[in-house]
Structure 1
Amino acid sequence: MDTTYSPPLLAVGMLLRKHSSKTVYRVVTPEGAGKFTVLYDIGKGQHSWPEPIPTDEIQRRMDRQEPDESRLTVEVDDPWALENRPPRPNYDQSRLDRDWELIKPLVTGPNAFRIMSRKHRNGILREHARQNKTSRQTITRLLRKFWQRGLTRFSLMDDKDQCGGKDKPRVFTSAKGGRRPRNNYPGMPLTAPARHILNEAADWLLQDWKHRTYQGALLEYAKKFCVGRTALDASGRDIIIKSTDRRYQPTVRQLQHLIHRWRPLRDVKRSKLGKRRFELIGRAFEGRADQHVTCPGHVVLDATIADVYLLSSFDRISVVGRPTVYLAIDTFSRLIVGIYVGFEPPSWVAAMMLLTNVVTPKVAYCAQFGIFIAADQWPCHHMPTTLFGDKGEMMKVRAGQLLSSEFGIHIENAPSGRPDAKSIVELRFNIIQRPWGAFLPGYVDKEYDERGSRDPRQDAALTLHEFTQIMILAVLRHNAAPISNFPPIPDLVAEGGAPTPLELWSYGIASTGGMLRNDSIETVRRYVLPRDTATVTHKGIEFGKYYYLCPPARDGNWLIKGRDSTWSVEIAFDPSNLDCIYLCEEGRFEKCTKAGTNSRYVECEGASMAERNVLEERQKANLERAKDQAFKLRVIAKDVDDRIVKGGTTKSRAALKEAGLRKPQIYDMRKARDRERAAEREPLTPAEADFIAAFDDDRSSRAERHFSRNPKQRGAIQRRKTSAAQAHKQAAADAVRKSRKSKTLDILKQIRR
């Protein structure tokens, strides 16, 4: 190991510190010094002279092996450097020029070294003072300032910036200061105790500026400190202020001056705006959203409620509401790498639906909505390495940890109430909605809630499928549009590329490789889709009033076992499309499709959970309305039924009474049933019914006249009346049938005679 000591180079203006003390020297060696190096003690200021020392001795004392008592070290921080002094825009330039011209002959040329010698110094200074008609003391003061403060022309600047007690509070004892008082209200001088008490009032005001005023702070001050109470000043001494006369109270202007002069602007503004609004619109900008991003792979997520009302896909006369639009934007290129449009509110579930779309090939995704594109029009189907979102969507601990552990994704959350932290994606919502906001039916304008404005729900005309098509086209337009004011990338500019999201994405992938992962859709769905519990029944796996089947269910005879008992299984589902679910049992992730046991009347291909809920709510409303109508009909039918029963009962009782019976006869029921059946098969004509009734009345009257001659047989008339009437009716019915066969009524006439 080479331990040879190399002496440092001693440059003019260099600072050397004595290791054993705080003494600092400046190298002020002029031309002609030879083997000497001249040092000047800048700590003594106006009371020292330069001291020539042999150069080899100084270099020896700068060796690390030298004892601390004599060792010198290089000092980096110059206390008299211009950057360490406050700016002086209004200093006296003419005086600076005059002082410099006065000492310039002494610090340049042959006199520069001679004036540092004690032998020649006094004579040179006296002669120079006589020639310039000034004093020796003035020249000495300027020379020492020149050596002390850096050996430059600006070293001669005056120190007026340190005059007047700048940034120091003025303490008044008798008069209050400021403009002359008027109206016999002299005010209160801001003595040290009064300033301390007024600071208490300022603290009270700054605690809740929104609901407090300057005058309220002064009243609080008067109530708390000006009624003979004892307070403490800044030094801890007791203060007793007994005056309650308004003429000797501090004014609002004094309190305003104290706050705006001595309180930090940050604290005052934070108190006025509140913490949340200050962080949003009042804080200082200290960086850019993409200042640490050097390649694609850092994705920002955010959601908004679209400014449009949509109709139900199943019933175009029913308004569903305003959909949620989720965007995933690459920070480096501003490319929209994923989109979700649906009725799920902003949440972890909707964010994971968006993440599924991020890894979906966009050619197949657009084809689902009838839009056919080339692969290079939307060339992103990879998993990012960093996700930046809100706490509301990224705070699901279990799912977030699973996403981070399985895919190695770093999840970041924006602070609460800070949309500016995701300014890139926030601005994209406005850019995407601007083209269709003017003509889209059902669009929600900013003035929609003003009096007299038209309700946008009355103009709704699009479904979720149609609105998704519009959003896809808007994304394609955005990805191909140039970005104004984008900082130029030299390599991209040299290649002739424009700053469009597509070209920036392609450049980032080609030049840096990007920070992307290649994961399949099924793998992503396995970990990001929301989980729930389904029931296995004899009709299939029941979830959301639908039945599903999968190979494990068929092979395991789940439907047969479901006739005896049911059990629960864990499933994953896509809220935007319930055409299939995924079985998550025993480490499996099996796709389950709809079973044939579903009613064909409730099949809703491609329906989201929100649309299905709207359909069910509409069906419930229709069912309740039908129940109301059916209830009215039941009431009417019950009333008619009661009338029929009452009429039939009255007639039966009258017939039994006329026949002299207490109960209907139950013998010969077979013949009675045959007669009724025959009557049902061959209904009587009106003429035939009249004939039977007349025949019955004639036979009954003749029998009654015959039996009524004997008073003892009158009781038998009532008992035999029913059987006689039935026999007469049977004879008449038989005669009617015979007449139908012979196509004549002669037999009827004979029977009647």
Structure 2
Amino acid sequence: MQYLSEVYFDNEKDQVNRIISIQENCCYVINMKKRNAMPFIIEREIMNQNFVIGLYTEMDDPFNLPYTDDGIPKKTLDQRNLDWIFVTEWCIPKMSELLKKETRGKCISSIAEQSGYNVAKIKALLSRYWQRGMIKNALLPDWLYSGGSGKEKKGTKKSGRKRNIDLSGIQSSGIIITDVVKNQIISAYKKYYLSANKFTILDTYNLFLRDFYSDHVITKKNEYKLKNENQRPSYSQFRYYFEKIRDQNQEISLRESSKKYELTNRELTANSQSETFGIGSRFQIDATIADVYLVSSLHRDKPIGRPVVYGVIDVYSRMITGLYVGLEGPSALGATGALANMISNKVEFCKEFGIIISEEDWPCNHIPAIIIADRGEFMGHFPEGIINNFNITIENTRPYRGDMKGIVERKFGTINGKIKRQLPGAIMKEYRERGDVDYRLKANLDLHAFTEVMIELVLENNRMIMSKYETSRDMRINEVVPRPIDLWNYSIKAGTSQLRKADKKGFLLSLLPKAKGTVTRKGIKFTGLHYTSKLSIKEQWFVKKKRKIDIIYDPRNMKNIYIPLKNNDYEICYLISDQAQYGQDFFEEIAYSSELENELIREGRKKEPEINVNTMERIAKIVKKAENQKKNTISVNGKISKSKTLKNIRKNRSEEKAFNRNIEAFNLENDNDLKRGQGKVFSYFNKKEVVAKDDYLLNILEKIQNEDKGNDENE
């Protein structure tokens, strides 16, 4: 079976091709290496035979990689977004004509005439769009990493082509667009274009000239006199910077109405088409809290509340393509679990729970063209990665409009009803009356067992006939039974499938949150933890200057973090050995612990100045007391010369040593405790007195004697 956007190697022609469209009897493919290549057609039967005999070999998609917008210059992103708008507005609606060789040329000419783009530019964009996977990031310019990345070029000469020579034979030079001029353009854009008056760009330019490049002449007509052409920006210059600063979402909201913006023009709802043509056209995702209480797998007598169930369902066939059962959510983490399961092999997934199935029972491990979701977790930055890297359009429903994704809500409502009828711990009614048994006390299923139940219900759903499903005329001719599995297989056979394969690791990396880590001498620091990796050690990151780097992490498991690399690969980082104990903690737990530690340190440091001041004061008193004692001694004994003072250091040391020994000696005679200053002084050289005491004391005295001899030698 072939998939949309699949890449394969043609061994006979020695070229890499991509499947860009699958029809009932044929496929359209494109050479990925040829510059400005156009599609050509291959019969599906011939393609299948070539795969079987080994003439075609499946390959990994070289462009199916997790780009992140954070590392791409704004200029490059702006160019990509402009080209993407052109492709979605002008090319995708006419894709059937553009694919066919006999109608392609006429269609491109028509688009060029209406859009203002030249034919060569359109062909280049189409070729790049098809060759690189028909995703938004396919339109990233090839000069992504060339020149001054993200830096505006400044100079003393006006950039761009020279202006035309007028009828008088004079060529005007124009002006340089400085920061002052840019701020003037921004001001005009906000004041006039983002208004309910709906001024055109040309109107905005004229008002811009009136405000900043004219003189108000007081005459009978009260007119404005514009400055000379050499003293004002041209319309082309204005339009160029206007396009750089414009925000189309904001324009719709302010120029039209916030309601129209929310309904049809939000960035994540680029396609409002509700009709589906085959499996993979649209998936719906939804979360529900199951009406059953579960118990802890560690303590079976302790309830843990109700689980969250995320489901992903194909609108065309009603096949459930993704499932997540857990305690996360409804949240981005729960949605991540469902989307990860969506592209996972279901045979392996069921095997983890002791359920044996075949590939034909649940053949779902693909990505769709569109995902319809709530306005919750899919409204923020969470889905940006899969939008840009995998060309999945996210359609968010309007507030309080669950009917816009009624298929998945109705399906899981039916499943929830079966749960309530069969499982212990289920909520049978919304409010308990006096005397009713608390359903929480009846709970005995843990999360693993409940997941098994959900898998069985999903497998049942995939084989059940849908009485209210409206079959098409072609389905009736082909005697298709309206069951999800039959509709799924029919769509594949009919060539209407929009399913695509995706690299699981790249897909998951596109879903996981991104942050900044710091390279320090101790490792890569993130949330107070330090990580290392093979690449960082090899390139000696930790001996260089401290710097920030982009990282990707899974909040549920902080054992590893991931560094996106320039070639769109990634480096796995591991916790350093003395911090491995935190590997199983959640991101929130580690972040809280780190913040708590910092707060305790901040509170503790508030007292440090007072401690330092008091310590310094006590030291000063000790020094002062010592100074006074020395002065008193000198006043009693008289002052001696410097030479005599320094000459007697060894003698003074011996006297002080003998005095201290009497004070420091331990007394073990009457008490087991070691008491200093109360011991009997024995002669070092008369060991007979000591023998009668204790062999242990004898050993101590011998040790002291030997140490004393060593000290005398050092002096």
TM-score by length of 2: 0.42
Larger Rg: 1
